[in-house]
């Protein structure tokens, strides 16, 4: 994991609030304030827009660190930075100049809502031309922190099948952000459905398209990015496991530690070489499998205590389910089910 001293220093406080945030469903404003204080919102913004412009791999290693303390907070930050990456990766220099500097300063929160163009089966968003503008109708099915966002980077499909990627101001007439969903975990991420009814979007908000695949080469990101949040959850669970002094716990910690280290090295190596489409689904599935095994083993070790809502083991076991559905195209699902269904 990243050894950034300032980040390491605030992790205990973030971790100490994780279960309370999970139970209350409160937005992790205190975690985000701590991260803002160490300059986290500058990390991925390019230097010419007031940020640090760190490399994607280092960014994801920092997400891993945050996820070891609070997966919900790590998800919020990663989705905010995904918006940064999509804006930075576009050709709309006007929007870059307008949005990236204040994002680096943490003046407002932005997020993404692109599942309707990728893996979601929960509806979609349609666009039609209206002069120089577009009219949007439909829904963004999943958007983390949407109720807190000033802008959402989203995508829609035109009647001819082409797509547009755009920045959606959430205060436009016809935009309605639903209350956060009653999720089994990560309630503190405030993930909502966003409904759009006859929303007029000026062309100046377009990041890319119309194009057959508006998300092709979509941002300055990294392959297998989801794996690093899974690794963080694994590390958090193993830290709790380390508090058990039994021989069984020590044996499991050593065994899982070796497996985690080996898988982590493989993912990092792939990411350093800009990704490998053949091994990506297999490695994602291996991360899912390891995350489930580590968190379920922690529940077993803690016995009945793990069923108490104040125990972090049950929270982490529920959070592990997130990786079975987060940004999982069919090849990833197929590899995951194959591993889970083996005798």
Give the DSSP H/E element, type plus range, for residue 208.
Answer: strand 206-211
Phi and psi (nearest 5°) for 207?
-95, -35
For residue 274, the enclosing domain spans 225-340
- Name the domain boundary from 109, 143, 164: 109
Here the tokens at position 23 are: 């139970």
Residues 264/231, Cβ–Cβ less than 8 Å: yes
In 10 A of CB 152, how many CB atoms? Answer: 25
Arithmetic mean of pLDDT, 100-125? 88
Burial class (CB in 10 A: 0-12, 13-18, 19+), 258: exposed
Burial class (CB in 10 A: 0-12, 13-18, 19+), 259: middle
Task: Report d(CA 177, CA 197) in Å as an integer.
Answer: 12
Task: Report d(CA 322, CA 228) in Å as an integer.
Answer: 13
Does a structural domain hold residue 220?
no
Q: Which residues pair with 168 in a beta bridge?
A: 152
Domain count, the chain: 3
Is the confidence at residue 217, as pLDDT, over 80? Answer: no
Same domain, 70 and 52: yes
276 pLDDT band (50/70/90 cuts)? low
- Name the domain boundary from 211, 236, 264: 211
Does a structural domain hold residue 216?
no
For the domain that residue 37 is a member of, what is the CATH number?
A: 1.10.540.10
- Name the domain boundary from 141, 176, 211: 211
Residue identified by tokens 């163009």 is 117
Residues 129/188, Cβ–Cβ less than 8 Å: no
Residue identified by tokens 């694994």 is 234
For the domain that residue 278 is a member of, what is the CATH number?
A: 1.20.140.10
Per the model's pLDDT, the better-predicted residue between 214 and 34 turns out to be 34
By DSSP bridging, strand 163-169 and strand 133-144 are: unpaired
What secondary structure does DSSP assign to 120-166, as a single string? --S--EEEEEETTEEEEEEEEEEEETGGGEEEEEEEEEETTS-EEEE
Same domain, 255 and 279: yes
pTM above 0.85, yes or no: yes
Does a structural domain hold residue 36?
yes
| Residue 120: per-residue pLDDT | 67
Number of residues that make up the chain: 343
Arithmetic mean of pLDDT, 47-76? 97
User: What is the distance, to the nearest Å, from the Cα of residue 315 to the centroid of all Cα atoms in its chain?
Assistant: 18
Is the confidence at residue 161, as pLDDT, over 70? Answer: yes
Task: Report d(CA 211, CA 158) in Å as an integer.
Answer: 10
Q: Which residues of 163-195 are buried (b: 16+ CB within 10 A; e: fewer)?
A: bbbbbbebeeeebebeebeebebbbbbbbbbbb
| Residue 2: per-residue pLDDT | 57
- As a whole number, the mean pLDDT across the chain is 93
| Residue 170: per-residue pLDDT | 98
Is the confidence at residue 82, as pLDDT, over 80? Answer: yes
Same domain, 231 and 333: yes
216 pLDDT band (50/70/90 cuts)? confident
Does a structural domain hold residue 219?
no
């Amino acid at each position: 994991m990243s050894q950034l001293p300032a980040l390491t220093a605030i992790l205990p406080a973030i971790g100490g609030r994780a279960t309370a945030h999970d139970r209350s469903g409160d937005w992790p404003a205190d975690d985000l304030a701590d991260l803002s204080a160490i300059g986290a919102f500058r990390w991925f913004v390019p230097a010419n827009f007031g940020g640090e412009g760190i490399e994607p791999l280092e960014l994801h290693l920092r997400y891993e660190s945050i996820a070891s303390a609070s997966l919900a907070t790590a998800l919020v930050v990663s989705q905010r930075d995904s918006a940064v990456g999509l804006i930075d990766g576009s050709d709309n220099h006007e929007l870059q100049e307008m949005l990236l500097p204040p994002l680096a300063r943490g003046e407002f929160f932005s997020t993404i809502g692109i599942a309707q163009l990728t893996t979601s089966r929960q509806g979609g968003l349609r666009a039609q031309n209206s002069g120089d503008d577009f009219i949007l109708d439909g829904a963004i099915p999943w958007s983390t922190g949407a109720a807190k966002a000033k802008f959402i980077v989203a995508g829609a499909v035109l009647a001819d099948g082409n797509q547009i990627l755009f920045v959606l101001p959430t205060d436009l007439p016809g935009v309605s952000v639903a209350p956060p969903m009653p999720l089994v975990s990560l309630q503190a991420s405030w993930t909502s459905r966003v409904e759009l009814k006859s929303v007029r979007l000026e062309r100046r908000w377009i990041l890319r398209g119309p194009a057959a695949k508006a998300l092709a080469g979509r941002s300055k990101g990294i392959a297998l990015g989801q794996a690093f949040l899974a690794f963080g959850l694994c590390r958090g669970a193993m830290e709790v496991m380390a508090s058990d002094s039994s021989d069984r716990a020590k044996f499991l910690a050593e065994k899982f530690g070796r497996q985690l280290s080996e898988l982590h090295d493989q993912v990092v190596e792939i990411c350093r070489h800009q990704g490998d489409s053949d091994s990506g689904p297999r490695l994602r599935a291996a991360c899912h499998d390891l995350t489930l095994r580590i968190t379920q083993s922690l529940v077993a070790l803690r016995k009945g205590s793990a069923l108490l809502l104040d125990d972090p083991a049950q929270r982490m076991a529920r959070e592990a389910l997130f990786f079975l559905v987060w940004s999982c195209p069919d090849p990833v699902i197929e590899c995951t089910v194959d591993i889970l269904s083996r005798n």
